[in-house]
Amino acid sequence: MKGVQGGGEAESVLVSAVVRVRGPAGAIGGAGFLVAPELVLTCAHVVSDALERDRAETVEPGTEVRLDLPLAWSAGAGDRDGAPWSAEVQHWVPIRPDQTGDIAVLRLRQPIPGALPLPLADPRDGVWDHRARAVGFTREAPDGIWQSGTFMGPTGKGWVQLSRAHGEAVHVEGGFSGSPVWDDELGAAVGMMVVAQPVREAQQAFALRTRTLVSEVPELAPVVDPASPFRGLEPFQESDADVYFGRDDDIERVVTALRGERHAVTVYGPSGCGKSSLALAGAVPRMRRDG
């Protein structure tokens, strides 16, 4: 697998993909991250907390939550005035009695300008001793706080264990759930933060592994490396059509317009929002397929 290399490039990718999940009243539930231009992955309990509902209550598909991109605009990569953005629940995997499950997939009602999907990997050789990082939106740091650690091994719940880095003062606590857990060695996210032990010196945290996420929500399979052709900031090409998804409505609008009286359609939007990918990996293959 070829991932994002270098701390600076990793930071730019992470801040453009990590969202803060809020309810209509502004309550912060935790984090989430883009896995496709219009799809966000987070924990089910993050959505419940944002909506200020009991975590045992099922949240129906179509339920609205709000998202913003605080890390992006603070890093100069986004527009603070454009937040928050509206999304609705598309897939819901509740928390089971044994603590498995706990996944929500959200669909944005329109892409967030400046936001980019995160490369998501399922390494066959494991991640033992790889350096990890995650971000949370906690009660004391609602605008974001980073934590670094080291990956350990897998658990029987489909999680991977993380230990705090030596000298790391930040603990994983409420607000970190839903964060992508980034592997510095692979240059990709390899899981999603889901639970942590109580705050103490030897605290261990746990992330849902990528293969667990795909097992629970098979629709996520196309965005996982090695199937995914994600190449940092490079657009998807026509040859990537089989693994490009999440913008079916936009593709349909472009194709419908081209099959009408128009000989050309202008696709416009801010830099990095996926215009080239929409045209090359979305509209063109659909036109060729349908004749």
For residue 193, give the 3-state DSSP assignment. strand
pLDDT tens by residue, 152-183? 999 999 999 998 876 667 888 999 999 999 99
Token pair of 190 as six digits: 């390899």
Domains in the chain, please, with CATH?
Answer: 7-120 (2.40.10.10), 121-208 (2.40.10.10), 238-290 (no CATH)
DSSP category for residue 4: -
Highest-confidence range of 52-61, 219-228, 271-280, by mean pLDDT? Answer: 52-61
Helix (H, G, I), strand (E, B) or coil at 261: coil
Whether 51 and 59 have beta carbons less than 8 Å apart is answered as yes
Spacing of C-alpha 229 from chain mean position? 16
**Are the C-beta atoms of residues 4 and 187 closer than 8 Å to each other?**
yes
Q: Is the pLDDT of residue 208 over 70?
A: yes
CA atoms within 13 A on the CB side of 261: 0
pLDDT at 231: 44
3-class state of residue 41 by DSSP = strand
Percent of the chain whose predicted confidence (pLDDT) is above 70: 81
pLDDT in tens, 49-83: 999 999 999 999 999 999 999 998 654 444 554 46
pLDDT at 291: 67
- pLDDT, residue 228, reads 41
Best-predicted range by mean pLDDT (51-55, 170-174, 262-266, 275-279): 51-55
| Better pLDDT: 225 or 232 | 225
Q: How confident is the model at residue 103 (pLDDT cuts 50, 70, 90)?
A: very high
pLDDT band at 229 (very low <50, low <70, confident <90, very high): very low
